[in-house]
Chain A
Amino acid sequence: MKLGKIVPAGLLAMAVGTAPAAAEEVNWRQFEGTSLNILGFAVGYIDAWFRPMAKQFEEETGITVRLEVLQAGQMRKKQDIMLAGEDETLDVIMLQMDNRGGKLTLAGHLEPLEAYLADPSLTPADFNYPDDWLGGCLNTVKVIKGQPLNNMVWSAQAQLLHIRTDLFKKYGVKVPTTMEELEDAAKKLTIDEDGDGKPEIYGFLSRGHGRLTTASFASYLFNFGGSWFKDNPDGTRSSNINSEESVDAFVFYGRMIRDYAPTSALNNKPPQNAALYAAGKVAMLSALNFWHSLADDPKKSRIAGNTTTILVPAGRAGSFPNLPTTSLAISKHSEKKKAAWLYIAWMTQKRIMLNGQNAAVPMCRRSVWNDPSYSAPTPAWGKSAELAADFGIAIAKPQAIAIGQMRDAAGEVMNVAIRDGSRAAIQAEADKQAAFMDGLIAKTEKGVDFAGVLPAFAKKLTMKDQLIPIEAEGLN
């Protein structure tokens, strides 16, 4: 055989050899007739995207979806009990890797996904993971060193600052890009119109209720240069909530709640905070970006059309958007792992994620942000959400095995920061809780190496980036 024939033949053979994987189409009905049990937590996007898509999935695949949605805390408890009991009926779980991903990974309850991802009969050829995923989302996927890929991240929900554009314009207040400007804006927008000593509009609102504060406080903590933990020279890690920078952040956040927020903040959970904002009682709300759909709904909100989101203002250490993403994972004990993966692969296809994106559920796929059919609810919402999804890090909670106790410990410091406010008292409580956290690390994390989510891990946002959403909205 001549070389001139051998080369084309070889090329043809190579093409034929690789063609089936590229050309093979996923038979979405290969598990028709089976059923999947999915456990999820109640958030805004469940009704906006998750439930409608589950119905569409049933129609397209013939697989029945039994979606059980519980309040997040209850869901976690049910999930723990089912996983610890190696329940074979639980197939797909919704989880936030920055919350308990490390714990579930170490306990071996999450199925590694690489094999499913590489299987052309189960994953569409154009699935394009991880290339089509935004950088911030990918930062949140692995929390333990050496962790296999065991979750498919999809929701790029981020902690952002919701602002009342009408109030900023009416009172001529500068939209904040720094913490100093944030406090100044909160002061100016705490408005007592009738002079009875009780503001009709409060300047600022964020979580002030115990352990829940960690999620909204995280950006402030990292922007001030603080962190939950620090790496020690001997390779161990210890609590860093009592460092000077961390205490500065506690002092600032505590003052913002105490001086510029309604006292309801001390009781409220995120839905109540979002409701107060939608009722027009607050000028700025530090909360997850999916709450925008409530605030901008004319049927449920008094401020529809006058709200948008921007990045949490930068601190002296920079700007670190807090990105508590949501993932889908397969229970290691499921008897229907392939069908479970088919569900995850179907849900995280571009066309399905685009549906979510168009329903104001921020998604992790880069291509849906650039799709011509997509338009953001407001320009600033779109820009701030995309920047957070690209630059964000999973800092919402102190990632640890004993995460519940760690969050309670940080919540204790926040209680003092909000209620007392003196630096000495906050420092004393932070020292006490840091020692407690160190004890927990020593007790529960033998041989565990959390990859950590430190500022060095993230791409750095500049002040120019910080201004992008504000300028997109035509503010300032």
Chain B
Amino acid sequence: MSNQALPQSALPDARVNSGRASELFDWIDRNLPFVFNIPTVVFLVGLVAFPVGLVIVTSFSDWQLITNQEASAVGLDNYIMVWTDERWLGAIWHTFYYAGATVFGQLILGMATALLFNRSFAGKSFYRSIWMMPMIAMSTAISLVWILFFDNAYGVLNYSLEQFGIGPVEWTSSPEWAMPSLIMVGIWHHTPFMTLILLAGLQSLPTDPFEAARIDGASRWQVLMHITLPLMQGHIIVALILRSIFAVKEFDTILAITEGGPRYATETMNMNIYINAFEYGYMGEAAAKGVLFFGFILLIQVALVKLRKRQWSH
């Protein structure tokens, strides 16, 4: 009936279109795994492979962002030159100093608070919520608050120290204190995340070994050192992997609080790359440093993952 309602001239076209659609659906059916992967491939190529490829290509050039000089290929020059760049070598040290100190501080404090919150006491939920608040605060916002705290003449930190006859300390304006100040902010900001992971780990531990230890008369310290920490190794390594990735990449708080200064004392690899690319316009050099930075992060992660695998095999 419906065919009769159509104009005669439209019938062959409709059949052809219907045939093509059917072929298309057949093809999709036959290649379903491939078709389902198309969005992922497009996403990865467009947003990951292409930019990464572009960075790698740029790293072999002397391209400058705003200049009257044409970019040219310079081979491995950028990769060789960085090893004589004192600021870059300093930035490597600053990166590992910052990451090592913040992650270590977060681990100690995170474990201590996780053990505390694993116990029962009045108002535990309330205190736990308060403790977790820095984790959800925006980096730039907390940096602005810390800048006020750090003020040499009018900041709350120096005011507090002054009450005990100490100071004043030049928190972020002296090369000696600037990095410890940033580490302090890093520990304050990210310890709650460490607490969260370790607390989850503590709550998933079996209760039998602890009961057995208690019956055998083990002290709290002995339980911590010989039962809790060994059982927690897996969780600790996961927390270390996650936090060390983020600590090595830390950028926004450093930019907002010290901008890499004073005297480049807080210039991490990330900051050095940013300044070279967008402040100085040396895109080729910055790209080479970016590739090396990526390599460093990869190495750290491979080492930590191997550590975790070894722990699993135990």
Identify the A interface with B (CB < 8 A).
Answer: 73, 77, 80-81, 83-84, 100, 103-104, 106-109, 209-210, 262-264, 266-267, 401-402, 404-405, 412, 415, 419, 444, 446, 448
A80 touching B173, Cβ below 8 Å? no
Pair A263/B168 contact, Cβ less than 8 Å: yes
Shortest CB-to-CB span from B74 to chain A, Å, is 13
Q: Which residues of B contact A (CB under 8 A)?
A: 65-69, 147, 150-154, 168, 170, 172-174, 259, 261-263, 275, 278-281
Residue numbers in B under 8 Å from A412 (CB-CB)? 263
Task: Select B151's contact among A81, A267, A401, beta carbons within 8 Å.
Answer: A267
Give the CA-CA distance A75 to B248 in the complex, in Å: 27
Asked if B151 and A419 sit within 8 Å, CB to CB, the answer is: no
Task: For the complex of A and B, list the 10 residue pairs with the smallest distance between their C-beta atoms, beginning with the closest.
Answer: A266-B173, A263-B152, A262-B153, A106-B68, A264-B153, A404-B279, A77-B278, A404-B280, A210-B261, A107-B66
Set B66, B69, B262: member contacting A266, Cβ < 8 A:
B262
Whether A267 pairs with B172 at a CB distance below 8 angstroms is: yes
Partner of B66, one of A103, A264, A415, A446: A103
Q: Contact: B154 with A210, CB < 8 Å?
A: no
The smallest beta-carbon distance between B103 and chain A, in angstroms, is 27
Distance from B296 Cβ to chain A, minimum over Cβ atoms (Å)? 24
A266 touches B68 (CB 8 A): no
Interface contacts (Cβ under 8 Å), in number, total 65
Q: Which of B67, B152, B172, B281 contacts A106 (CB 8 A)?
A: B67
A-B contact pairs, 6 of them (CB 8 A): A80-B281, A262-B153, A267-B172, A412-B263, A415-B262, A419-B174
A73 vs B278: C-alpha distance when bound (angstroms):
10
- A107 neighbours in B (Cβ, 8 Å): 66-68
In the assembled complex, how far is the CB of residue A345 from the closest CB belonging to chain B, in whole angstroms?
A: 26
Query: In the complex the two chains form, what is the Cα distance from A59 to B278 in whole Å?
Result: 37
Residue of A nearest to B169 (CB): A263
Beta-carbon contact of A80 and B65 below 8 Å:
yes
User: Which residue of A has the minimal Cβ distance to B261?
Assistant: A210
Q: Is the CB of B259 within 8 A of A402?
A: no
Docked pose: A405 CA to B152 CA in angstroms: 27
In the assembled complex, which residues on chain B have CB atoms less than 8 Å from the CB atom of A404?
275, 279-281
Chain A residues within 8 Å of B170, by CB? 263, 266
Interface of A is mostly: helix
Q: Give the chain A neighbours of B153 by CB distance below 8 A.
A: 262-264
Q: Within the assembled complex, what's the spacing in Å between the Cα atoms of A106 and B64?
A: 13
- Contacting residues, chain B, for A267 (C-beta < 8 A): 147, 150-152, 172-173
State in angstroms the CA–CA spacing of A419 and B170 once bound together: 11
* Across-interface contacts of B66 in A (CB, < 8 A): 80, 83-84, 100, 103-104, 107, 109
Q: Which residues of B contact A209 (CB under 8 A)?
A: 173, 261
Nearest residue in B to A418 (C-beta to C-beta)? B173
Q: What's the Cα separation between A444 and B64 when bound, in Å?
A: 10
* A27 and B163 alpha carbons, distance in the complex (Å): 69
Q: Chain A residues near B67 (CB, 8 Å)? A: 103, 106-107, 401, 444
Set of chain A residues within 8 Å of B280, measured between Cβ atoms? 402, 404-405
Considering the chains assembled together, what is the distance between the CA atoms of A100 and B152 in angstroms?
32
CA distance A104 to B281 in the complex (A): 12
The chain A residue sitting closest to B277, CB to CB, is A77
Q: Which residues of B contact A83 (CB under 8 A)?
A: 66
By a CB distance below 8 angstroms, the chain A residues around B172 are 267
Residues of B with C-beta under 8 A to A402: 280
Most chain A beta-carbon contacts within 10 A, residue among B69, B153, B172, B174:
B153
Query: B65 and A264: CB pair below 8 A?
Result: no
Report Cα–Cα, A109/B68, bound state, in Å.
10
Assembly CA distance A413 to B69 (angstroms): 30
How far apart are the CA atoms of A304 and B228 in the complex, in Å?
Answer: 64
How far in angstroms is the closest Cβ of chain B from A433? 12
Shortest distance from the beta carbon of B278 to any chain A beta carbon, whole Å? 5
